[in-house]
Every structure is written in C-alpha cells, then in structure tokens.
C-alpha cells in the first residue's frame, strides 16, 4: 500500500488534469483484495474530487463479482462520486483453475462452466444497470448474444452505459450495432507499448480466441448452427434438468489426484487467512533447537551448529545424530517394530499431523512455517510436499500390499510383514522435512503387509 497508492494516485491525477478516463485492469483472483484496497485509497483521495473518470475492471468469472460491485457502489456512495466499471468475463481462466489445484485450495475462485460465467456476467450487468446513478457501466465483450441480452436488460433506457471492444476484434458486431442505434456507444481499447510489453497481451488474445469455449471461435465455425450460438446461458447450464453448475471433468482442487487427497494449501491473497497466519507466527516466540529424538527424547551426540540462513526469531542450533545415537535407536526400533506394525497404533503418529496446513487450520500453518524455518510460501510448500509423500506412499502401500506376501529379506519366516527395522539416513538441509518424509514414507511402504493395509488406510486419510 505504501508503494502502490502514491504511484497510482500520481497517474490518476495526471489523467484528471488531461480529462482522460483511467481504468485499473483486473488481474489474477489472488490480487483482488489488495487491488480493492489500493483502488479504495486512491479513489477516496480529495485531490480527485469533481472527476468521474476513475474506473476499474471487474471479472464476472470470479464468484465474488456481485459482492465487488456492491463494494464499489458503497465506495462511490461514501465519496459522493461516480466510478466507471468495466465488466469483463476474465482473461485468466486456465491459470485460475491450475493455480487453485496447485495451491490445494478448498474451491476455485472462478466458475468452471462457461455458461455459468455468461450468466454471472448478465447478473452483474443487471446489478450495474440498476446502480447507474453511481456506477457508469462499461460492458466489454465480443459475444453477440451477451451484447443482445444486455440491450434486453437495459430496455428502453439506453443511456448511462457503453460497450467496449478490443482494437482489431468485434468490428463486425459493433459496426452492425452502432449503424442502427445512435444512442449506443462503443469505446475501443487499444493497447500501446513495445513488443515486450505487449507480448503477454497478445498471447492471452491468441489463447482466448483459439479456445473452443470462445464465442469468437465458435461463431467462426461454419459447422456450428446459429441456434447453438443463441442458446441462453440459463438453458445451457441446465440446472433445472439436474446438471451441476460445476464442470464434471474438473475435480475439486483437493480431489485432483483421485485415489489420494491433495494436500491442503494456503491462499495468501485471502486477507483473513493471511492475518491469522501472521498472528500465529508472531505468537510463537519460544526458542527451539533442532535435534534427533531417540526415542522421543533429545539425542544428538554429533556436531552441533547454529542454524544457517536468514535469522529468524526462535531459531537457534541444530544438532546432528552420531553413530552412537543410531546404535541406540536401531535396537529400540527393532523392539518396537511389532507395535509399529500394528495397524491402529502405527497410524497414530501420522494422524497427529493430519492437517498440518490448509485453510481449515490456519494457525497450524503458522506452526508449520516456523518449524520449517523458511519463508511462509516455501515453508507451506515443504509441509505440503511432506504430506503428499506420506499420502502417495500410503496409496502405493494399499495398492501393492493389500494382500499378504512373503518378503525376500525374510524368506524363512515369510510372516507377511516387512523387512524389519532400518535406519533412514537423512542428510538434507534444504526441504528437510519433505525429504525425510519421502525416505520414511518409502520405508513405511515396505513395512506394509496384510495388517498394515489398515495402517495405510489411516495414513491415507491424512
């Protein structure tokens, strides 16, 4: 806010001085809350009083679009000024879907079926038309059906709003529309800049126009009957016929991997989650040392050194295990093996870490970040990787060892259990938790036999 608000304000003041309109584009969903804060601060600045040229773009594919319109309307009311609002469907649909999956979010920030976005656009359009006193609606679309339905929504009153198109697109549509309707206006958005600045813009247009869901692409396909182009979004959605508003080929982000659950992640663009994370990090002030635990009590007869890297409150020393620690740990592990091999008890340590991170357990995310001693983003990524390893090997164990099987390492006894106790040498400094979990998970998978299938079941629920 300290950096962006003054820069944006300066640009807005220049636009005002030249009596130009000035619109802040809409970008990725995780920037929405921050954008609204910046826009709110700039718009409310007294130096912009008496100028109605300030505006922003709102994306109808975002599920929060109607709430954003209400927020802007309220902002205008509080400042006694009008704002220009460009309504678009949204240019980053694929990115939003992929990102939500990668981040292990609870749900997608965008609709996953095209007619849902089309319908959302119309709902937002009606909302904006009803607020024309404070909002100047700018409908940016190249979809002829969307344009016609907006005109239908506006009815006889075709003042106080405009259409927008991109330079080089929608020419035929708007030439046709404007030639018979004097009171309808269409502004043309022409990007300016060098090749480097415009490349991303051009690539987005290429992707958009090539997509088989795009109106422009479908309208250009002679095999698609006109009746299909004119099917209204509500009919295409088919909610009354029992169809889901969700795309049936796009699983929820946490169900991405089918047989095993995706690890729950964290949305830094969600203000509430971020504030909880920061508070939970600030609340953890106790100093901690890293050391091997044998068996559950501090060991570490090896070298000890300060933790390297960025200084962080709470981090102190780390101690390495010595051969003597291994000598103590191995017999103990062998003794406890039957206990570990017992399905229910073997699964218990795994259950303790059941939800290390995720929007459901934000304070736990703070603990996880601090434990991994990294930046929040890296820390959460590492914990998620560790969880994914555990779940992956649990799923593998269930698949491969659901049935009893003799182990070559213990042919004489052929008990149907694993290869026995072992030492997992763990040398990683970076991403140590994830790498440890990978080695440990592999070892656990090897131990899984017959009764362990139940343990794997439990681990699978992590």
Ligand X SMILES: Cc1cc2nc3c(=O)[nH]c(=O)nc-3n(C[C@H](O)[C@H](O)[C@H](O)COP(=O)(O)OP(=O)(O)OC[C@H]3O[C@@H](n4cnc5c(N)ncnc54)[C@H](O)[C@@H]3O)c2cc1C
Q: Which of 62, 101, 112, 359 binds ligand X (CB under 6 A)?
A: 112
Options 83-91, 230-238, 426-434, 447-455: segment touching ligand X (CB under 6 A): 83-91
Query: For the purposes of burial, counting CB atoms within 10 Å of the CB of 260, is it exposed (0-12), middle (13-18) or buried (19 or more)?
Result: buried
> What's the closest the beta carbon of residue 226 comes to ligand X, in angstroms?
16
Closest CB to ligand X among residues 212, 285:
212
For 50-134, list the strands marked E by DSSP. Answer: 54-59, 83-88
Q: Going residue by residue from 2 to 41, which x/- string records binding to ligand X, judged by CB under 6 A?
A: -----------------------xx---------------
Q: How far apart, in Å, do the first and last CA atoms of the chain sit? A: 38
Q: Kindly state whether residue 280 participates in binding ligand X, applying the rule CB under 6 A.
A: no
99 counts as binding ligand X under rule CB under 6 A:
no
Which listed range, 86-94, 355-363, 404-412, 413-421, lies at the site for ligand X (CB under 6 A)? 86-94
Using rule CB under 6 A, residue 88 touches ligand X: yes
142 lies in the binding site for ligand X (CB under 6 A):
yes
Binding flags for ligand X, 384-423, as an x/- string (CB under 6 A):
----------------------------------------
Nearest residue to 315 (alpha-carbon basis) of 361, 281, 265: 281
Among 99, 165, 370, 449, binds ligand X (CB under 6 A): 165
Angle among Cα 30, 36, 40 to the nearest 5 degrees reads: 165
Residues 207-236 that bind ligand X (CB under 6 A): 208, 213-215
Q: How far is CA 211 from the centre of its chain?
A: 22
Cα distances (Å, whole numbers) of residue 99 to 103, 119, 361: 6, 24, 20
For residue 79, state whether it binds ligand X (rule: CB under 6 A).
no
Q: Contact 390/364 with Cβ under 8 angstroms?
A: no
Residues touching ligand X, count (CB under 6 A): 31
Angle between helices 362-372 and 271-282 (to 10 degrees): 50
How far is it, in rounded angstroms, from Cα 462 to Cα 452?
16
Q: Per CB under 6 A, does 164 bind ligand X?
A: yes
Q: Given the complex with ligand X, which of 167 and 316 has the nearer CB atom? A: 167
Per-residue mark of binding to ligand X, 237-256 (x: CB under 6 A): ----------x---------
Give the residue, chosen from 12, 29, 32, 57, that forms a contact with ligand X under the rule CB under 6 A: 57
Where do we find the tokens 């959460």? 380
The answer to whether 391 and 354 are in contact (CB under 8 A) is no
Q: Pick the binder of ligand X from 35, 62, 146, 447 (CB under 6 A).
A: 146
Q: From the CB of 21, what's the least distance to ligand X, in Å?
A: 12
Distance CA 401, CA 16 (A): 71
Judged by beta carbon, residue 189 or residue 440, the one nearer ligand X is 189
Give the shortest CB-317-to-ligand X separation in angstroms: 49
Rounded Cα gap, residues 431 and 375, in angstroms? 12
Shortest Å distance, C-beta 48 to ligand X: 21
144 belongs to the binding site for ligand X (CB under 6 A): no
Strand 304-306 and strand 288-290: the pairing is unpaired
The continuous run of DSSP H or E covering 23 comes out as strand 22-24
**Considering only residues 61, 108, 266, 373, which one is a binding residue for ligand X as defined by CB under 6 A?**
61
State how far the Cα of 374 lies from the Cα of 383, in Å rounded to an integer: 11
Q: Which parts of 261-407 fold into alpha helices (H)?
A: 271-282, 323-341, 343-352, 362-372, 376-401
Q: Which residues bind ligand X (CB under 6 A)?
A: 25-26, 57, 59, 61, 88-93, 111-114, 116-117, 140-143, 146, 164-166, 189, 208, 213-215, 247
């Amino acid at each position: 806010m300290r950096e962006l608000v003054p820069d944006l304000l300066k640009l807005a003041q220049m636009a005002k001085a030249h009596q130009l309109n000035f619109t802040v584009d809409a970008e990725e969903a995780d920037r929405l809350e921050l954008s609204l804060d910046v826009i709110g601060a700039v718009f409310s600045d007294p130096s912009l009083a008496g100028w109605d040229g300030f505006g922003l773009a709102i994306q109808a594919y975002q599920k929060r679009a109607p709430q954003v319109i209400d927020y802007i309307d309220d902002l205008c009311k509080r400042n006694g000024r009008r704002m220009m609002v460009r309504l678009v469907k949204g240019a980053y649909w694929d990115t939003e879907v992929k990102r939500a999956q990668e981040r292990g979010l609870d749900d997608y920030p965008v609709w996953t079926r095209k007619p849902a976005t089309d319908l959302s656009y119309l709902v937002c359009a009606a909302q904006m038309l009803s607020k024309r006193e404070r909002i100047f609606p700018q409908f940016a679309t190249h979809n002829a059906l969307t344009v016609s339905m907006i005109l239908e929504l506006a009815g006889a009153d075709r003042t106080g709003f405009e259409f927008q198109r991109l330079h080089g697109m929608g020419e035929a549509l708007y030439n046709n529309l404007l030639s018979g309707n004097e009171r309808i206006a269409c502004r043309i958005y022409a990007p300016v800049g060098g090749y480097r600045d415009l490349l991303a813009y051009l690539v987005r247009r290429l992707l958009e126009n090539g997509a088989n869901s795009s109106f422009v692409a479908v309208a250009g396909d002679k095999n698609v009957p006109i009746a299909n182009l004119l099917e209204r979004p509500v009919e295409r959605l088919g909610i009354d016929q029992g169809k889901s508003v969700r795309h049936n080929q796009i699983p929820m982000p946490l169900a991405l991997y089918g047989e095993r659950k995706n690890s729950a992640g964290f949305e830094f663009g969600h203000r509430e989650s971020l504030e909880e994370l920061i508070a939970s990090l600030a609340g953890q002030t106790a100093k901690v040392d890293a050391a091997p635990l044998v068996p559950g009590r501090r060991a570490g007869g090896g070298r000890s050194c300060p933790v390297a890297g960025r200084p962080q409150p709470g981090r102190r020393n780390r101690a390495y295990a010595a051969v003597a620690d291994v000598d103590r740990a191995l017999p103990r592990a062998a003794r406890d093996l039957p206990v570990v091999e017992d399905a229910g008890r073997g699964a218990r340590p795994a259950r303790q870490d059941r939800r290390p991170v995720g929007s459901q357990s934000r304070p736990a995310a703070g603990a996880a970040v601090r434990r991994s001693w990294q930046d929040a983003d890296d820390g959460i990524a590492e914990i998620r990787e560790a969880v994914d390893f555990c779940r992956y090997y649990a799923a593998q164990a269930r698949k491969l060892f659901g049935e009893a099987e003799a182990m070559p390492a213990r042919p004489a006894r052929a008990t149907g259990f694993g290869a026995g106790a072992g030492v997992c040498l763990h040398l990683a400094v970076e991403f140590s938790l994830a790498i440890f979990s990978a080695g440990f998970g592999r070892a656990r998978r090897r131990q899984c036999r017959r009764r362990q299938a139940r343990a794997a079941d439990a681990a699978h629920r992590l």
